[in-house]
Structures are given as structure tokens and as C-alpha cells.
Amino acid sequence: MELDEVVISRAIIEDFSRTLSEYADVDVGIVGGGPAGLVCATHLARAGAKVALFERKLSVGGGMWGGGMMFPRIVVQREATRILDEFGVRYREYRPGYYLASSVEAVGKLTAAAAGAGAEIFNLMSVEDVMIREGDEVAGLVINWSAVDIAGLHVDPLTVRTKVVVDATGHPAEVCRIIQDKVTGKGFKVLGERSMWAEKGERALIDATREVYPGLVATGMAANAVAGGPRMGPVFGGMLLSGEMAASIVKKKLGIT
């Protein structure tokens, strides 16, 4: 069989254009493809929600890829091992209460689960603004290619209409900071994360995962940054549990189970 380069190009252009057009109107727009975002996307897609996940980098996985200081291992506490079981991530007990897993395997299986559940992952796309509508509620995302920002080009963006937005952008809490900077007079503030304290940060993260602004749910380190919680380092149980909790919050808002 001979391969025609034009056919190959058309296949990619036509299919991606169709998909992007289809996902210009979604139930949930998740910004950030780290562990919390991937768990959240999987649970929502499994529940039947139309989910688009936007990741500014080439690959999803966030900080989980690098484990601790580029040692590709992560630690998960006992409470979160059930999520590793759910996604088929292998782990072993290091000592009572501490469980070790491969960061590479974890990212691969979380990503495969999200895509397999039906969440559409758009990599190399950045969110540069939000849409605010009646009742000062977040009603959409303003997206552009990450390369546009990197190159410093002036290129107008496109928009995606959403029912709920999830900020899973990690330490920067990028969507929440857009609200802080652009929606004045509402008193919304990103407190910023504190210095590392794994135990306190893990516990605080669950309480911090919530709807922080109408139509906007914060999860993972974005939630800790909004609430002023400590960072945790390469222990990821709280991130996984936070993604699960964010999905539960969104499902209640959408009226699905």
C-alpha cells in the first residue's frame, strides 16, 4: 500500500477540526492535566459529562512525571491507595502508611483512564481568560495555542462555553488568578501556598477543594494556593483524593451521579 502525504494531512486536520468544533460547548472545562485534573476528568466522563481538558504543555501529568527531584517514584498515603487500585497503578508498602508507586506508570494509567472514559484532552492549549455572564458566574474559557504565548504573538483566541470550570493548574492557580485580577469588587483572593509541610498540606487540601467562585471549582495544588495551604512535595495521595472530590462537587452542580 502506498501512502499519500496529503491524505495523512487531511485526516489529521479534518478530524481535529471536527473535534475542536464539537467541544466548543461542554459541560465541564478542566484546566490542567496533572493528577488531580486527570482523576477529576475520568470520574466526570464516566458519569456521562461532556469533558474537555486543556493542558498547556505537550504532555499531561503535571509534576507527577518527575517524582521527587527527578527520581521517578511517588509516595501515596494509605487513604489514597484505593484510587491507585481503581486506576490499576501498582504500588508497594515502603513502611506502614507509606506506599511507593512509579510516577511514569501512574501518569500513563491516569491518562489512559481519562481518555478511555471519554474525556477529550487538548494539549498545547492555554487558557488566557474566562467568560463571566449573568450572576457573575464563570461561563466559559478563552483558549489559545501555547505556542502563541511562547512566541509573544498577538493572535486573538477562541472560546469554549462551559457549565462548570475546574482549575487544576497546580501551584500557579492560573484560572483563579484570572478571577482575582479581572473580576473586581468581589473580594476574591488567591492567598498563595505556604512553605512545605506534607502532613498539614495533605490534610488541608481536602478542605480546600471546593467551588471557590460561582462556576469555578479548584482542585489539587490550585486549591491549596487559593486557601493558603502548605505545599506537600512528592506525596500525591491528596492530589488524587482532591480530584475525586472535585468531580463529586461538579456532579452535584450538574445534577448527575
Domains in the chain, CATH or no CATH each:
24-254 (3.50.50.60)
Phi, psi of 238 (to 5 degrees): -60, -35
Instruction: Please give the pLDDT value at position 211.
Output: 97
Instruction: Please give the pLDDT value at position 134.
Output: 80
> How confident is residue 3, by pLDDT bands cut at 50, 70 and 90?
very high
> How confident is residue 187, by pLDDT bands cut at 50, 70 and 90?
confident
Q: What is the pLDDT of residues 60-113, one digit of tens each?
A: 999 999 999 999 999 999 999 999 999 999 999 999 999 999 999 999 999 999
Instruction: Please give the pLDDT value at position 185.
Output: 67
Residues 201 and 164: beta-carbon distance below 8 Å: no
Residues 218 and 249: beta-carbon distance below 8 Å: no
Phi, psi of 73 (to 5 degrees): -135, 145
Residues 31 and 54: beta-carbon distance below 8 Å: yes
| CA 92 to mean position of chain CA atoms | 26
| Angle in degrees, CA 49, 55, 60, rounded to 5 | 95
Query: 186 pLDDT exceeds 80?
Result: no
Query: 215 pLDDT exceeds 70?
Result: yes
CA distance 145 to 155: 9
Q: What is the CA radius of gyration of the chain?
A: 18
Q: State the sign of the Cα–Cα–Cα–Cα dihedral 243, 247, 248, 252.
A: positive
> How confident is residue 237, by pLDDT bands cut at 50, 70 and 90?
very high
Average pLDDT value over all residues in the chain: 96
One-letter amino acid for residue 229 of the chain: G
Neighbours of 115 (CB within 10 A): 17
One-letter amino acid for residue 195 of the chain: S
Q: What is the pLDDT of residues 167-184, one digit of tens each?
A: 999 999 999 999 999 886
Residues 91 and 97: beta-carbon distance below 8 Å: no
Neighbours of 83 (CB within 10 A): 21
Q: What is the pLDDT of residues 22-52, one digit of tens each?
A: 999 999 999 999 999 999 999 999 999 999 9
* Mean local confidence (pLDDT), 204-217: 95
Give pTM, 2 decimals: 0.97
Instruction: Please give the pLDDT value at position 136.
Output: 87
Q: What is the pLDDT of residues 134-154, one digit of tens each?
A: 878 999 999 999 999 999 999
Which residues are CB-contacts of 72 (< 8 A; sequence separation ≥ 6)? Answer: 65, 66, 102, 103, 104
Three cell numbers written together for 109: 494509567
